[in-house]
């Protein structure tokens, strides 16, 4: 049985009427509706979509869903899929907290029979602040790396991911995993994250540029990682949000171009999440995106990007 899932942005009214079983619902800076039977996660990020009263990210599947909790995670299992979310106080011990969180995550997905991660989302408080002389994002990477190594997981099998700053004091992570395998896509314009040089920290970030879930099935889905203005391993166009956006678009085109026979097209994007360090840049960035996706398929969020010089990061889901 191949896993079938979908993700879409919904208003509160649409969420109440959604037909397929919910795995999880993510709220960006809004209160989550009461009585939702799903994994629920609040992300304290400022939503920049002033023209939309409420907007939630809804993950659905086709079969019945079982909700449960384990090792601090809220979990939804169904259809050979496992959706999970966790929030933990981060504090100064961000490296150890991240290591322990990921160690629990690997244990939880293994016990559920869904060891194949499809997508990971990481939100780190004060992500670019210094902690005892080291950037907190680098400490996060160290903790994540230790947990991957301890679980015996090959860095090249890490799934698509995002890592952004967030308000509040908690480290928030959510994920989708499956019982079946998925395909990892790299970007020929960029050094693979797990091969970044030590200049970006002793432990490299662990993620693929994209995952294709269910490449064998009739309905493959492309999940593109947070994509920034990075070529090779270097940040380009510091201080120039328009040029950074154009560079992000070139990276997205390159990633889509790697999907070969699956034939994903950028005009098929069903979900586009745009993170801006400065909310004021929205108009300048929107102009560069042109008609990449209909407005109801886009969410604009104010968030710190993991390198201080980066002003914009974009992630996408296709089909």
Using CB under 6 A, list all residues that contact ligand 3EB: 122, 161-163, 193, 205, 207, 225-226, 228, 230, 306
Q: Which is nearer to ligand 3EB, 60 or 235 (CB)?
A: 235
Cβ(265)–Cβ(255) below 8 Å = no
CB of 230 to ligand 3EB, least distance (A): 5
Instruction: In whole angstroms, give the CA distance from residue 208 to residue 258.
Output: 12
How many angstroms separate the CA atoms of 121 and 111, rounded? 21
Return the ∠ at Cα 318 (arms to 316 and 319), rounded to 5°.
150
Supply the minimum distance, in Å, between the C-beta of residue 21 and ligand 3EB: 28
Task: For residue 154, give every residue at least 6 positions away whose Cβ sits within 8 Å of its Cβ, in sequence order, or none.
Answer: none
Q: Of 47 and 192, which has the nearer Cβ to ligand 3EB?
A: 192
Q: Which is nearer to ligand 3EB, 60 or 131 (CB)?
A: 131
Shortest Å distance, C-beta 31 to ligand 3EB: 27
Q: Check if 234 is active-site.
A: no
Strand-pairing partners, residue 221, are 213
Spot the catalytic one: 57, 135, 247, 313: 313
**Rounded-to-integer distance, Cα 5 and Cα 176, Å:** 10
Q: 116 or 211: whose CB is closer to ligand 3EB?
A: 211
What is the SS3 assignment for 272?
Answer: strand
CB 222 within 8 A of CB 309: no
Any idea how long the chain is? Answer: 319
> What are the catalytic residues?
313
């Amino acid at each position: 049985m191949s896993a079938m899932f979908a993700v879409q942005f919904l208003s509160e009214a649409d969420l109440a009427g959604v037909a397929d079983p919910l795995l999880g619902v993510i709220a960006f800076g809004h209160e989550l509706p009461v009585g939702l039977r799903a994994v629920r996660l609040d992300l304290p990020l400022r939503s920049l979509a002033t023209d939309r009263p409420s907007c939630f990210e809804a993950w659905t599947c086709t079969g019945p869903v079982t909700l449960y909790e384990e090792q601090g995670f809220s979990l939804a299992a169904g259809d050979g899929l496992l959706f999970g979310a966790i929030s933990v106080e981060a504090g100064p011990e961000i490296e150890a907290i991240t290591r322990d969180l990921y160690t629990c995550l690997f244990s939880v997905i293994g016990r559920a029979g869904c060891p194949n991660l499809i997508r990971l989302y990481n939100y780190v408080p004060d992500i670019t602040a210094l902690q005892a002389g080291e950037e907190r994002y680098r400490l996060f990477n160290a903790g994540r790396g230790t947990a991957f190594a301890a679980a015996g997981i090959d860095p090249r099998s890490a799934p698509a991911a995002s890592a952004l700053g967030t308000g509040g004091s908690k480290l928030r992570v959510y994920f989708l995993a499956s019982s079946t395998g998925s395909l990892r896509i790299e970007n020929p314009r960029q050094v693979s994250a797990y091969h970044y040089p030590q200049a970006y920290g002793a432990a490299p970030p662990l993620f693929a540029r994209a995952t294709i879930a269910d490449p064998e099935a009739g309905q493959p889905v492309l999940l593109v990682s947070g994509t920034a203005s990075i070529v090779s391993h270097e940040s380009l166009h510091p201080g120039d949000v328009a040029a950074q956006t154009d560079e992000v678009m070139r990276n997205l085109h390159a990633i889509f171009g790697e999907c070969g026979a699956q034939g994903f097209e950028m005009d098929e994007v069903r979900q586009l999440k745009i993170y801006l360090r400065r909310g004021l840049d929205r108009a300048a960035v929107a102009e560069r995106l042109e008609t990449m996706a209909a407005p109801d398929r886009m969410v604009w969020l104010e968030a710190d990007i993991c390198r201080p010089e980066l002003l914009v990061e974009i992630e996408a889901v296709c089909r």
